[in-house]
Amino acid sequence: MSFIKELTKGIIKENPIFVIVLGMCPTLATSTSVENALGMGMAATFVLVCSNIFISLIKNITPDKIRIPVYVVVIASFVTIVDLSMAAFIPDLHKSLGLFIPLIVVNCIILGRAEAFANKNNVLNSIADGIGMGLGFTLALSVVATIREILGNGTWLNIKVLPETYDPMLITLLAPGAFITLGFLMALMNMLKEKK
Amino acid sequence: MKDKYIVSSAPHLHDKTTTKNVMWNVVIALSPALVFAVYYWGFRALLLTLLGAVSAVVTEALIQKLRRVPVTVSDGSAFLTGMLLSYNINAGAPWWMPIMGSVFAIAVGKQVFGGLGNNPVNPALLGRAFLLASWPSLMTSGWLKPKSGALSGIADPDAIAMNLKALSPKAFDLVTGATPLKVVQTLRDSSFVASINADAGEGIDLANRIFTNITEMDALKNLFWGNIGGCIGEVSAFALLLGAAYLLYKNIIEWRIPLFYIGTVFVLSFIFGPIKGAGFSPMLPFFHIFAGGLMLGAFFMATDYTTSPLTKNGRIIFAIGCGLLTVVIRFVGGYPEGVSYSILFMNVMTPLIDKLTMPKAFGRVKK
C-alpha cells in the first residue's frame, strides 16, 4: 500500500519541480528541447533510484556527521556510470547535455531525496520514491521542454509541428523564456490545486 | 446611506485628477507623433498602432474576467500601453508584431503582478524587450524609408550616396540602409572604419566624412522633424516635444525626470560622443538627444507613475541613471540604442532609490 503511495506522490502531488521547486538549474538549462529533457530526466532517474537504494542500505552504518560526503560519493559513482555509458552509446545526446550530466552529482533533487527519504526509509519504499520522483522530474522537464521547443523552434522531438511560415519566438529558448514558462506552469498547477 | 459616508484615511484633499483623465491625456499628447508617422509611412503606421492598442485592451479585459476582478479597460491604461508598445515598432514590421508585444506586455508585464499600479517595470518597454529578444532580425532591420528622405537622415542623400557608391560600397550600404544611431555605432567599430577607409584609398578619411555629414545642421533638421528611419512613434522629436509640452502644461508629468535624463545624455555625448579622429562637433549632443527613442522614453516612459521614484531627489537619481546607461549602451554596448533597456533597468532600481531618498519625518531624530 505504502509502496504505491510513495511511487505516485512524486508525479503530481509532490512534483520535485513544480511543487518542491528543486533542481532549477538543470530544469532551466536542459529544457530547450524535448530530446534533451528526456535524456536528462532518464539519467537523473537512474541515478536517483540507484543512490536511493544504496543510501537506504547503508543508512545504519553511515556516521551522522559525515553523511553528506557519503551521499556525494555514492551519487558521484552512479553519475560516472551514467556519464560514461551515455558517452559510449548515445554520444550526440551526451554532447548536447554537456556539463549537466556530471552536475547531476550536486542535483538538489537527488541529494534532497537521499537526506529526506532514503536515509529514513527501507529499501523498497526508497525505490518507489526514487522512481516516482524521477518520473515527476522527467515529466515536468518534458512539459517545459515541449512548450519551449514548439514555440522556440517550431518542432517537437525534432519533428516539425508548426508550418514553415512560423517565425520562431527565440526568447523561449533563452533563460527568460525558461523562467516565464516555468512560472506559468507553476501558476497553473496552483490553480488546479486550489480548485480541488 | 452607506455610500454617502465614506470613511477614509488622510489626506482628505480632492481634485479632479483621475486615472482615466491622466491616461487619456497622455494618449492625446502622443497623437502628434502618430500624425507624423502616418505622414512619413502612410496608414500602415496607424494600423499597427491601433492593432497594438486594441489587442492590449482585449487582453486586459480577458485577464481581468479570468481573475474575477472588475474590468477597468475604460481607464485607458491598457490602451496607452498598447499604443506606446506600437510606437516602439518599425512601421514595416509584420502585422502580428504589435499584437504579440501587447499581449505579452499586458499579460506578463502587468496582470501577472496584479494589474495597474503593481507592475515593477514599464509594461510597454517589457513588451519591446520581449519582441527584441524573440525576433531580433525583424525588430532591427527592414526599416521603411520616410517619404522624400534617407534612413540615416543624411541631407541630400542622392548626391552623397552616388559619391560613396564609387568610393566604397560598404559605406554606401551603411548610409542608405541604417538608422542614424546604427550609422554612428558602426562608425565606432574600428575594423569597419579601417575597411572603408582602405576602399577609399589613402588620404580620404571616409568615416569622418560620413560622421560629419550625419551630425551637421541639415541632417539634424531631418532628425528633429522625423524625416529618418526608425520606430513608428520615436522619429519626430518635434511631435513628441509638442505632446510633452501639453503634459507639462497639464501638470501630468513632472519636469525633473525628462530634464535630467536628456541633460545627462546631452552632457555625456558632448564629452564622449566624437569618434576617434573626428573633430569636435558642437552639433553632436543635439544629434544624440534627437536621435533614437530618447524623446519618447524621457517624456512618456521614464515618467510612468508606477515605475519611477516618488521623491524629488529620487527622480533626479533615476533620470541621471537612465541617461548614463543610455549613453553607455549607445557608445560601448552591442545595441545602437539603449533607451528602453536603461529605463527598464532603472525601473527595477526604483524601490531602492525610494528607500534611500525617503525624507525624514517631521520631528524624527536621525538614528
H/E stretch holding B113: none
Structure confidence at residue B278 as a pLDDT band (50, 70, 90): low
Residue B167: the pLDDT is: 76
- Which of A121, A144, A147, A128 minimizes the C-alpha distance to A23? A144
pLDDT value at A169 more than 70: yes
Around Cβ A106, how many Cβ atoms within 10 Å? 13
Q: Residue B231, SS3?
A: strand
Preferred mutation among B112, B113, B128, B134 to probe A, highest tally of A CBs within 10 A: B134
Task: Write phi, then psi, for B90 (nearest 5 degrees).
Answer: -65, 140
Place of cell 529578444: B133
- Asked if the C-beta of A28 comes within 8 angstroms of chain B's C-beta atoms, the answer is no
Residue B3: the pLDDT is: 63
- Which of B288, B289, B356 minimizes the C-alpha distance to B318? B356
B50-98: per-residue pLDDT in tens? 999 999 999 999 999 998 999 999 999 999 999 999 999 999 899 999 9
- Asked if the C-beta of B138 comes within 8 angstroms of chain A's C-beta atoms, the answer is yes
Structure confidence at residue B201 as a pLDDT band (50, 70, 90): low
- CA A184, distance to chain mean position in Å, is 19
B323-342: per-residue pLDDT in tens? 999 999 999 888 888 999 99
Separation in Å, CA of A14 to nearest CA in chain B: 25
Mean pLDDT value across chain B: 88
- What B112-115 contacts at long range (C-beta under 8 Å, 24+ apart), as own/partner pairs, is B112/A183, B115/B64, B115/B69, B115/B72
How far is Cα A84 from Cα A88, in angstroms, rounded to an integer? 6
Cell numbers placing A187: 501558476
Task: Write phi, then psi, for B99 (nearest 5 degrees).
Answer: -70, -50
B135–A169 C-beta distance less than 8 A? yes
Residue B203: the pLDDT is: 61
Q: Residue B90, SS3?
A: strand
* Binding-face residues of A in 171-190 toward B, CB within 8 A: 171-172, 174, 176, 180, 183
C-alpha angle A15-A17-A23 in degrees, rounded to nearest 5: 130
- Mean pLDDT for A23-31 is 89
Task: Parse chain A into domains and list their residue ranges.
Answer: 2-195
B133–A176 C-beta distance less than 8 A? yes
Which of A93-97, A128-132, B212-216, B347-351 bottoms out in mean pLDDT, i.e. has the lowest? B212-216
Among partner residues B112, B133, B138, which is closest to A171 by beta-carbon distance? B133
pLDDT value at B2 more than 70: no
- Asked if the C-beta of B66 comes within 8 angstroms of chain A's C-beta atoms, the answer is no
More confident residue, B318 or B183: B318
The structure's pTM equals: 0.89
In terms of CA atoms, which chain A residue is nearest residue B96?
A167
Around Cβ B70, how many Cβ atoms within 10 Å? 8
C-alpha angle B98-B101-B102 in degrees, rounded to nearest 5: 85
Around Cβ A107, how many Cβ atoms within 10 Å? 24
Place of cell 505632446: B243
Report CA Rg, chain A: 18
In terms of CA atoms, which chain B residue is nearest residue A153?
B134
- Mean pLDDT for B221-246 is 92
How far is Cα B138 from Cα B65, in angstroms, rounded to an integer? 33
Residue B172: the pLDDT is: 81
Name every chain A residue with its beta carbon within 8 A of the beta carbon of B138.
Answer: 167
Structure confidence at residue B176 as a pLDDT band (50, 70, 90): confident
Structure confidence at residue B210 as a pLDDT band (50, 70, 90): confident
Q: According to DSSP H, which parts of chain B are helical?
A: 19-41, 43-66, 77-87, 96-107, 123-134, 136-140, 157-167, 169-177, 180-187, 190-200, 206-215, 217-225, 237-249, 256-272, 284-290, 294-296, 312-332, 339-357
B134–A169 C-beta distance less than 8 A? yes
B95-122: per-residue pLDDT in tens? 999 999 999 999 999 999 998 889 999 9
B138–A167 C-beta distance less than 8 A? yes
More confident residue, B153 or B103: B103
Which of A96-100, B196-200, B363-367 bottoms out in mean pLDDT, i.e. has the lowest? B363-367
H/E stretch holding A155: strand A155-156
Name every chain B residue with its beta carbon within 8 A of the beta carbon of A172.
Answer: 134
CB B150 within 8 A of CB B175: yes
In terms of CA atoms, which chain B residue is nearest residue A173?
B134
CB B274 within 8 A of CB B280: yes
How far is Cα B124 from Cα B127, in angstroms, rounded to an integer? 5
In terms of CA atoms, which chain A residue is nearest residue B104?
A180
- Asked if the C-beta of A167 comes within 8 angstroms of chain B's C-beta atoms, the answer is yes
- Mean pLDDT for B277-301 is 87
Cell numbers placing B197: 577607409
Question: Looking at residue A154, what DSSP letter applies?
Answer: S
Name every chain B residue with its beta carbon within 8 A of the beta carbon of A191.
Answer: none
B108–A180 C-beta distance less than 8 A? yes
- Asked if the C-beta of A169 comes within 8 angstroms of chain B's C-beta atoms, the answer is yes
Peptide linkage before B136 cis (omega within 30 of 0): no
B136–A167 C-beta distance less than 8 A? no
Task: Parse chain B into domains and list their residue ranges.
Answer: 19-139, 157-219, 253-357
pLDDT value at B297 more than 70: yes
B134–A171 C-beta distance less than 8 A? yes
Instruction: Give the number of beta-carbon pairs within 8 Å between A and B.
Output: 18
